[in-house]
Amino acid sequence: MSLAQSLKLIEKKFGPNKVLPVSQAVGAFIQHIPTGSLSLDLETGGGWVQGKVNEVFGPWSGGKTFIALKTVATNQQLYPDANFAWMDAEGAFDSEWAQTCGVDLDRLLIFTPEYMEEALEIADTLIKSNDLFLLVIDSWAALSPKSEFDGTMEDNTMGLRARVGNKFIRKARPTSDLVKEDIDMGKTTLLIINQTYSGIGPYATEETPGGKQLGYLAMLRVKIRKSDLVQEPNGTVICQQSTFIVEKNKTFRPKTKGEFWFNLTDNPMGKAGTISRLDELVRYAIAFGVIKQSGAWYSLPEHVYSERFQGKANMLEWLSEQPEETVNALEVLVHGAVGLVDANI
């Protein structure tokens, strides 16, 4: 049997467009959805991988839930017809903080499952609806299997959470429609929040709970941790710096690093629930030559502003007073300089 005959047999048995040249398989070209952070978008090659499994993990209070909320808020604005869901396995969803971060609560479904099997069955059903754009699982580490939930403290349930979780990840692994070019609102992007545990022994490393399958099948894995804080004299934290490293990336170069500042209260760096966008933007604009630096002098592209600034602070102050269109124009130039001019960011 020739290859042409085999292809006809495959088409007859499984339908059209199951096997075709990569040049015609437009759906095989990976797309991304923005994270809400310019730094994270640029360092991941465009943001979370659309329609695939993504994992954000790290120690407590690092900014994982915050960046997930910003992802929801950002994409709600970009895709007003899309549907979003949030699995609150920790029972810790703060609707007031979510609104502060820009989330439209009327367009976000939420469920708080009792145990792991229930949680993943609901998630699987939502994914198979083919009408869910983004599902956030908060968090993988908080999921508890039913037998562990119903049992006693003496019961040995080692490995059970991993077995249940691994099965879900294999089932939820999305497939690509090779001939569909536009973003499919029903091809669910999974953003799974996970934690890190310290291993036992002198050579132990930090591990993420819930099985290895998540790490293997995730297209993108980002580790986030708290780095620095800005506090008022009374100790109130007004702004936090989070640093990240892209531990795995199947669509862009791995091991890239970055940082972002986000505001917990209204302060000179920005409003509560926002990322200090200008800090990110100017940092990358200088690094990639969009903003020219000569000693203490800074020059914006001439069509943005023709005069020079003495000191970075003066330039940031001027930019903070400009209309949104000016800042957006500068961001487009940064995207082009980094090489992401065609990315969905």
User: What is the reported pLDDT for 38?
Assistant: 93
Q: State phi, psi for 193 to the nearest 5 degrees.
A: -90, 130
Q: What are 26's two structure tokens? A: 């437009």
Q: Per mean pLDDT, which range of 14-18, 159-163, 328-332 is the poorest?
A: 159-163
Domain chopping of the chain, boundaries: 21-275, 277-340
What is the rounded distance in angstroms from the CA atom of residue 124 to the CA atom of residue 108? 17
DSSP 162-202: HHHHHHHHHHH-----TT--SPPTTSPEEEEEEE-EE-SST
pLDDT in tens, 325-337: 888 888 888 888 8
User: What is the reported pLDDT for 166?
Assistant: 59
On the CB side of 243, how many CA atoms lie within 13 Å of its CA? Answer: 6
- Report, at the CATH architecture level, how domain 21-275 is classified: 3-Layer(aba) Sandwich (3.40)
What is the rounded distance in angstroms from the CA atom of residue 171 to the CA atom of residue 111? 20
Measured CA distances, 273 to 78, 79, 216, 262 (Å)? 18, 20, 32, 7
CA dihedral 62, 64, 70, 73 (to 10 degrees): -150
Do the beta carbons of residue 85 and residue 110 sit within 8 Å? yes
pLDDT in tens, 40-98: 999 999 999 998 889 999 998 899 999 999 999 999 999 999 999 999 998 899 999 99
Q: Per mean pLDDT, which range of 47-51, 188-192, 277-281 is the poorest?
A: 277-281
What is the rounded distance in angstroms from the CA atom of residue 288 to the CA atom of residue 135? 34
For the chain, give percent helix, strand, coil, nearest 5.
35, 25, 40
Examine the pLDDT at 210 and tell me if it is beyond 70: no
pLDDT mean over 120-140: 89
Q: What are 197's two structure tokens? A: 């545990």
Which residue would you say has higher pLDDT here, 212 or 236? Answer: 236
Domain 277-340 - what CATH class? alpha beta
Q: What percent of the chain has pLDDT over 90?
A: 40
Q: What are 271's two structure tokens? A: 């409003």
pLDDT mean over 168-192: 64
With the C-alpha atoms ordered 94, 96, 99, 105, is the resulting torsion angle positive or negative? Answer: positive
Q: Which residues neighbour 251 within 8 Å (Cβ) at sequence distance 6 or greater?
A: 30, 32, 44, 45, 46, 49, 219, 220
Amino acid at 117: E
Amino acid at 85: A
Average pLDDT of the chain to the nearest whole number: 83
pTM of the predicted protein model: 0.83
The one-character DSSP state at 69 is: H
Q: What are 116's two structure tokens? A: 């792991």
